[in-house]
Amino acid sequence: MRIDILTLFPGMFSGVLSESILKKAQEKGAVDIRLVDFREFADNKHKTVDDYPYGGGAGMVLKPQPIFDAVEHVTAGSPGARIILLCPQGERYTQKKAEELAQEEHLVLICGHYEGYDERIRQYLATDEISIGDYILTGGELGAMVIVDSVVRLLPGVLGNEASPVDDSFSSGLLEYPQYTRPADFRGMKVPDILLSGNHQLIAEWREKESLRRTFLRRPDLLDEYPLTDKQKQWLKEWEHERETENGGSQCGVSKIFVGDIPK
């Protein structure tokens, strides 16, 4: 995959792209990430990329010319590239969208600043508009980092264990089940016996059940479109009954733990 990031602040990406999984992915040749300062494409001597909006209003707006020229430069010979506008008005970003973008060969991410984009960029250039959440950031760079990280980790050969992204929260439609490691007993807090049993079938069922339970307690909205099996529907009925009888128990599955109860 090739990813071009159009930004006025390429220095913001130096740490993110030179550490951890993103660094390894580039070293393996799984992804080619290029930073493009679209100020260099401005056609005026002062290299300005913004101007006052027609009709008046607060702030400045990104001009179409530098961004159009930069995109045309990086997509020369790549007519099928996805041109993604980082924008608070865009589609809310999800794991499903990350999986969709991971199938592409070429992504172009445009990081906005100031009061927004000239509408012609949105209307005639971008193929996608994405927002990483319902809040406002100074620019699109942080959103671009989120998209790059979430997409690149899905590329073949990037993660050491190919099952890792499959088991992640949201990938299956549910939140991930609880995880434990050594020691089996830490300050009296013990790993569930079933995980020490060696019975892979029972462990798989426990993980399925705990994944569903955690989703039910923390993100029940994810279950609205989830294709529940008969067994899973029965579990939900049992938990709904338990919650009703508890009359006000914790919604995070930690009702037994209070401040001061953590073992020393």
User: Cα angle at 101 between 96 and 102, to 5 degrees?
Assistant: 95
> Widest CA span of the chain, in angstroms?
72
**Known active-site residue 168:** yes
Q: Could you tell me the sign of the dihedral formed by the alpha carbons of 47, 53, 56, 60, in that order?
A: negative
Catalytic residue among 2, 69, 88, 99: 88
**Known active-site residue 227:** no
**Known active-site residue 115:** yes
Residues whose CB falls within 8 Å of the CB of residue 201, separated by 6 or more in sequence, listed in order: none
Catalytic residue among 153, 165, 213, 214: 153
Tokens of 169: 């929260």
> Quick one: DSSP state of residue 41?
G
Q: Tokens 């209003």 label which residue?
A: 57
Catalytic residue among 168, 176, 208, 243: 168
Q: Could you tell me the sign of the dihedral formed by the alpha carbons of 180, 195, 170, 32, in that order?
A: positive
Alpha-carbon distances of 86 from 17, 22, 120, 138, 261, rounded to whole Å: 18, 20, 15, 12, 44
**Burial tier of 85 (Cβ tally within 10 Å: 0-12, 13-18, 19+):** buried
Q: Hey, which residues are catalytic here?
A: 88, 115, 153, 168
